Structure 1
Amino acid sequence: MTVLHQIDPIALDLGTWNLPLVGSVHPQIHWYGVMYLFAFIAAWWLGQRRIRAGRLPGVNTQDYGDLVFYCALGVVLGGRLGYILFYDLPTYLSQPLQVFKIWQGGMSFHGGLLGVVFAAWWWSRKHRLHLFDTVDFIAPLVPPGLGFGRLGNYINGELWGKPTGGNWGVVFPTDPVLQNMPMQQLQQQFASGALDQFARHPSQLYQAGLEGVVMFAVLWWYSSRPRPRYAVSGMFALLYGLFRFIVEFVRVPDAQIGYIAFGWLTMGQVLSLPLIALGLFWLWLSRRSPTLQPVLS
């Protein structure tokens, strides 16, 4: 079945405001930002459950609230800087104000991951915990946020996949061939079947399912009993790297980069290879590492 993407990326339009000193402003709440809010709420709620179960000894709910705050900053700052450095540095050098337009997309998972690791290191040092005890604790809380983020990509009509070549897929009005066509005209042509040739893989939904639902189910189950240090982090890195590498085969690469080599290798795949290697290394390292036991307060 072919679907025409018709979701408005703006969740709430607050109209035009005339403010003293500022002038006319038109505030809007975008679904992409709402997805980030859902991600942080999910991480906070799931983490509170693990804290009450004693999965990070010596840490109370207030301490964990600080960790969520630090990690939220790490996600946003690291994700944005990662996207700029890895994917589109020339554009942001020529248009610096674009850095602040996060609601338009442009966030890198790999940059966000580095931001979270740095935040976890900073917080762990303050609480005298081993970094990987903290990272192992965080890892199962991340997949729901990844899933929400990919739903935000889908709502924005960005990061779509290649043409399906069949009578199924999603027709995105943001497709370069269609983006100048009014929605009413798109709807008419879609109803006649004239747009079936533009149906694409909804790769954002594939990633939401794999990185969000499947990874969460596996990691939540895997971490439901104490595991050696590095094991949960290793499983997270391995699964994400594999899932991302696979989905990239049906996802259109970023236009400003294209394919890096062989006519199929993307930047997303290049950045995922180190994660796969790290995941395997951490799982190997976990075989001789201590296991943090739950301590109920």
Structure 2
Amino acid sequence: MSQPYTVAIDPVAFHLGPVQIHWYGLMYLLSFLGAWMLGEHRRKQGRLPVSRDALGDLAFYAMMGVIVGGRVGYMLFYTNIHWIWTDPLALFKVWDGGMSFHGGLLGVLVAGLWWSRRHKLHFMDTVDFVAPLVPIGLGLGRLGNFINGELWGKPSNLPWAMIFPNAGEQDTQLAAGDPALAKIFEQFHGLPRQPSQLYEMLLEGVVMFCVLWVVSMKPRPRYLISGLFALMYGCFRFLVEFVRLPDVQLGYLAFGWLTMGQILSLPLIAIGLILLAMSRRAPILSPATESAKV
């Protein structure tokens, strides 16, 4: 096996005086900007009959839903629940890291429901409009995880396996208990691992965006886009979890392979199938024939 690529990228993209601008923060910024630009493009096509200002409100509420829901979801799903009565302020310690996609998704749905009622639109029309924009953030977020050298995969001898220096402590523990891994560790000063972040970037970002964007450009029934989103994300996340290590504070929850990510993805798969079934009897939606509001 040749020398694997070592993922040792500086997480700081650049400095603005004393302020450090991190790549992960830039990924969030690019995600929101990209979603806004494509959302405005779709609005002008008449795919959501609202004004530019109304779309701006939706973007803001969705952004808050991602941040608040993502943080709350992480604290509920991925940490010991004791923090609620022992250290409730831990919820606000965002600098310690920890965001959950499933929590962020719930936050966006709550924001979208409130916004839809305010503008007297069918909630699922709003969800269908937003769904093709979400993979932009998913893909860029996974790229940010890769740059940070976090959420790495399992040790592997595949030609594209990579060494993540941040996994050094875990690599040492694994090598200590396995002579074969110890030999590899000694040879490469680390264990080559599956770049699971790149798998997710490709599947949850590129593939999902292409499929949802193409399907949403054509006349299609209500619920179809949302159903495809939920089904694809649930399936992709469930599969990638097999080559991705579970969160260290949780480990495997059952059978020696079931992770929290897989458990949280099962409802999405079920919801996706239900929405696709509902779409078979739903009205066909086309871009508004009249000009979009300005």
- Return the TM-score normalized by structure 1: 0.86
Equivalents in 2 of 1:228, 1:156: separation in Å?
40
Equivalents in 1 of 2:158, 2:284: separation in Å?
50
Is the counterpart of residue 223 in structure 1 residue 229 in structure 2? no
Which of residues 72, 75, 80 in structure 1 aligns to 2:63?
72
Asked whether the 8 Å contact 2:171–2:191 carries over to 1, the reply is no
Q: CA deviation at 1:193?
A: 7.8
Is the counterpart of residue 260 in structure 1 residue 262 in structure 2? no
Q: CA deviation at 1:95?
A: 5.6
Could you tell me which residue of structure 2 aligns to residue 108 of structure 1? 100
Equivalents in 1 of 2:170, 2:106: separation in Å?
36
One-letter identity of the residue aligned with 2:59: V
Equivalents in 1 of 2:254, 2:144: separation in Å?
29
Q: Larger RCO: Structure 1 or Structure 2 (Cα < 8 Å, ≥ 6 residues apart)?
A: 2
Which of residues 9, 12, 17 in structure 2 aligns to 1:10?
12
Could you tell me which residue of structure 1 aligns to residue 145 of structure 2? 153
Is the counterpart of residue 241 in structure 1 residue 234 in structure 2? yes
1:98-147 CA-partner distances (Å, limit 9, x unpaired): 54454554111100000000010010011000100100000001001100
Equivalents in 2 of 1:213, 1:105: separation in Å?
25
Equivalents in 2 of 1:217, 1:79: separation in Å?
25
Asked whether the 8 Å contact 2:7–2:163 carries over to 1, the reply is yes
Q: Which moved more, 1:68-77 or 1:3-12?
A: 3-12
- Return the TM-score normalized by structure 2: 0.87
Query: Which ranges of structure 1 fall in alignment gaps of 5 or more residues?
Result: 17-26, 181-191
1:216-253 CA-partner distances (Å, limit 9, x unpaired): 00000111112111111000000000000010000000
SS in 2 for 1:288: coil
Q: CA deviation at 1:271?
A: 0.4
Equivalents in 2 of 1:4, 1:28: separation in Å?
23
Q: CA deviation at 1:56?
A: 1.1
Asked whether the 8 Å contact 1:167–1:196 carries over to 2, the reply is no
Q: How many residues align?
A: 275
Is the counterpart of residue 124 in structure 1 residue 116 in structure 2? yes
SS in 2 for 1:128: coil
SS in 2 for 1:70: helix
Equivalents in 1 of 2:158, 2:56: separation in Å?
48
Equivalents in 2 of 1:193, 1:167: separation in Å?
18
Equivalents in 2 of 1:134, 1:79: separation in Å?
20
Asked whether the 8 Å contact 1:33–1:103 carries over to 2, the reply is no
* Aligned ranges 1:201-212 → 2 under 5 Å: 201-212=194-205
SS in 2 for 1:11: strand
TM-aligned CA distance change 1:232 to 1:171, over 3 Å: same
Could you tell me which residue of structure 2 aligns to residue 144 of structure 1? 136
Could you tell me which residue of structure 2 aligns to residue 183 of structure 1? none
Which of residues 51, 54, 71 in structure 2 aligns to 1:63?
54
Cα RMSD, aligned residues only: 2.2
Asked whether the 8 Å contact 1:32–1:105 carries over to 2, the reply is no
Is the counterpart of residue 35 in structure 1 residue 27 in structure 2? yes
Could you tell me which residue of structure 2 aligns to residue 88 of structure 1? 79
Equivalents in 2 of 1:179, 1:15: separation in Å?
36
SS in 2 for 1:125: helix
Q: CA deviation at 1:168?
A: 3.8
Equivalents in 2 of 1:71, 1:259: separation in Å?
32
Equivalents in 2 of 1:289, 1:167: separation in Å?
47
